[in-house]
Amino acid sequence: MSFGSPSTTTESTSIFVTQKLYDEILGNDRHLIAIETTRASDIVQQFRQFALRSGGALYLWTEEVGITNLRESDLPVPGSQRFHDALRHIANSLHGGIYVFVGFSKQLRSPATSVIRQLARQTGPGAKKVVFVDTKVRLPEGLDVFVNRFAHVAEEKKPPRLRDGRWVF
């Protein structure tokens, strides 16, 4: 995989979160991942389904709830609703895994960027992967060199139409 340009997936079935993507994220040298999509809620739901099927260590952060395990979403991490606090929790946690962030754009400020930089430079076993999901992921200047980007382009399925007495797909 080339790190210079984003990987792009276009699928009419819109299945994006697969074992292959999971393995690519975990095996990647970079610890910051950006998934650019117009269907963030679909991608989050696919991560949830994948976590249930695979049993992998997948977590989700939203501003309303904080950090939750995607398999057991009814138990949020206390005090993780603020973006900066969630990042600090991840940086100090012993739990490796993939942490998916949605709805973070407004909170990318100075204290959070230093923790993101720290997470980007982590080494050793049990490294944590931070996945940012948004229409366009814009990280502060200087962080793009630490990010591996994926672009999800979902084709709109057009309904069949009738032409000359036959259905055309």
* Model confidence pLDDT, tens digit, residues 19-41: 999 999 999 899 999 999 999 99
Residue 101 lies in a domain: yes
Q: Which domain holds residue 139?
A: 18-154
Q: Which residues contact 156 (CB under 8 A, 6 or more apart)?
A: none
Q: What is the pLDDT of residues 67-115, one digit of tens each?
A: 999 998 788 999 999 999 999 999 999 888 999 999 898 888 888 889 9
Residue 8 lies in a domain: no
Residue 5 has pLDDT above 60, yes or no: no
For residue 155, give the amino acid letter.
E
Residue 125 lies in a domain: yes
Please state whether the predicted TM-score (pTM) of the whole model is above 0.75: yes
Residue 42: CATH number of its domain = 3.40.50.300
Residue 119 lies in a domain: yes
Residue 2 lies in a domain: no
What is the tally of structural domains in the chain? 1
pLDDT value of residue 1: 41
Residue 132, both tokens: 């940012």
